[in-house]
Amino acid sequence: MSNLLSVSEAAELLGVSTKTIRRWEGEGRLNSTRTEGGHRRFKVSDLIGNKQDNSLTVAYARVSSNDQKDDLERQKIVLEAYCAQKGWSFEVISDLGSGLNYRKKGLIKLIKLICSEQVERLVLTHKDRLLRLGSDLIFTLCEIFGIEVVIINRSEDSTYEEILAQDIIEIITVFSARLYGSRSDKNKQIVEELKEVARQLK
């Protein structure tokens, strides 16, 4: 192997796309020289020094409403402790919002990181913390980009009936909030009735 690599050779060495190599060069994260023909060339020594740039672990936490903020903090503590114990370089992203909302700020940031090939693994406390209906779509993205998915509490996953009940409750909660207003007495009554139904199903 020559000491100077082309864009495609650099991408193969680092395990990323040629688009990522060009972006990193544009951001100043990689140095390059130019041939007489204007082609980029990268030193192997420079690339090896950047080989761990795409080894970020992202831990994602989410709760649906403000009254679950304590649970959000617990999730973050569990995720931080787990990642630190493994010795991973990590970032925690959190969201407060419905699992049916695909436009949450944290979720969008997570998807962008996945697609920019900066993530080595995704860590969750439970599968449903990602999305209520659609988490498999994110897991497919992770598979495409070679990202490991770690779910800490797999053994505590809910039964099919519990998952279905929670999905229905969240759907009705979201739509009743849109219909009556999230702080209205009518909406609060519906939410409480739904929670009681959920308790009876467990």
- For the stretch 11-69, pLDDT in tens is 887 767 788 888 888 888 888 899 888 889 998 877 766 554 456 899 999 988 777 88
**What confidence score (pLDDT) does residue 26 get?**
87
Give the neighbor-by-neighbor strand order of the sheet with 90-96.
90-96, 56-63, 119-124, 148-151
Q: Chain centroid to CA 32: how far?
A: 31
Helix, strand, or coil (residue 67): helix
Determine the Cα–Cα distance for residues 65 and 193; give it in Å rounded to an integer: 16
Q: How confident is the model at residue 79 (pLDDT cuts 50, 70, 90)?
A: very high
Determine the Cα–Cα distance for residues 75 and 87; give it in Å rounded to an integer: 18
Query: What CATH number does domain 56-156 carry, 3.40.50.1390, 3.40.190.10, 1.20.1560.10, 2.70.70.10?
Result: 3.40.50.1390
- Angle, CA of 142, 144 and 145, to the nearest 5°: 65
Q: Break the chain into its structural domains and give their ranges.
A: 4-49, 56-156, 160-201
Beta strand residue intervals within the chain, DSSP E: 4-5, 33-34, 40-43, 56-63, 90-96, 119-124, 148-151
Q: What percent of the chain has pLDDT over 70?
A: 67
| Domain 4-49, second-level architecture | Orthogonal Bundle (1.10)
**4-49 and 56-156: identical CATH topology:** no
138, burial (CB in 10 Å: exposed 0-12, middle 13-18, buried 19+) = buried
| pLDDT tens, residue by residue, 159-200 | 545 555 555 555 555 555 555 555 567 656 666 666 665 555
Q: What percent of the chain has pLDDT over 90?
A: 15
- Angle, CA of 198, 124 and 172, to the nearest 5°: 30
Name the strand (E) or helix (H) holding 144: helix 135-144
Q: Which residues are part of the catalytic machinery?
A: 64
Provide the CB-side half-sphere exposure for 76 (13 A, CA). 14
DSSP string, 161-186: HHHHHHHHHHHHHHHHHHHH-TTSHH
Strand partners, 121: 57, 148
Indicate the pTM of the whole model. Answer: 0.55
Least confident of 44-48, 98-102, 109-113, 149-153: 98-102
Residue holding tokens 């609060």? 188
